[in-house]
Amino acid sequence: MAKTPKETRDDFSPKTIRLLRERVSDLCSKPDCRVLTRGASSNQEKTTSIGVAAHITAAASAAGVARYDASLSSEQRKHYDNGIWLCQTCSRLIDVDENRFPVSLLKEWKEIAEQYSKESIGKQLVSSFDPSVIKSLIEDPINKKTNAEKDELRKKLGITEQALTTFFTILKKKIFLRNHYQQFYVK
């Protein structure tokens, strides 16, 4: 977003920022991103954050700002309902292409991300898979499975449907990159 003087911006309070971040489990709210935005720093007394509490409708009116709504009051602009938690990359992306990322889409992302977070509480992260399950997934991609097979797999792994879809998206990208760049490896 374009830089505007501090006094003309309707910035979120620290409490609102914390709530936006925590209600999506520190994950970017963009459905095809979902990167973890907070973690350990090399300094034991600090954490590293790449997350941003972004405004769904702009915090200020200035040339070049995305999705400014003059009908909103200052309180509405800095309210939780007007915020979404994103990684820095996705935050920048939504601000430079407002036609591709309208208010309705950002609100949908926020709702999906919060639902995903709520459904994931108490569930194991996608890091302790049985290697035989992973091997079968690579050999038999998810898009070839029936809904019943997908549901059985999801239950076996103990993850939500959206987590399974996200996992497969990442897995496909990694397999593609491995296959694509394998020709450059010295054997």
Mean pLDDT of 56-83: 86
Query: Would you state the pLDDT for residue 75?
Result: 93
Count of C-beta atoms within a 10 Å radius of residue 92: 14
C-alpha 30: how far from its chain's center? 4
Q: List, for residues 13-68, the tens digit of each pLDDT value.
A: 999 999 999 999 999 999 888 899 999 999 999 999 999 999 999 888 776 677 88
Q: What integer best gives the mean pLDDT of the chain? A: 80
Mean pLDDT of 98-110: 91
Contacts 24+ apart (CB under 8 A), 168-174: 168/137, 168/141, 168/142, 169/32, 171/137, 171/138, 172/141
Query: 1 pLDDT exceeds 50?
Result: no
- Identify the residue with better confidence: 102 or 154: 102
Query: 108 pLDDT exceeds 90?
Result: yes
Count of C-beta atoms within a 10 Å radius of residue 109: 24
Query: Would you state the pLDDT for residue 126?
Result: 56
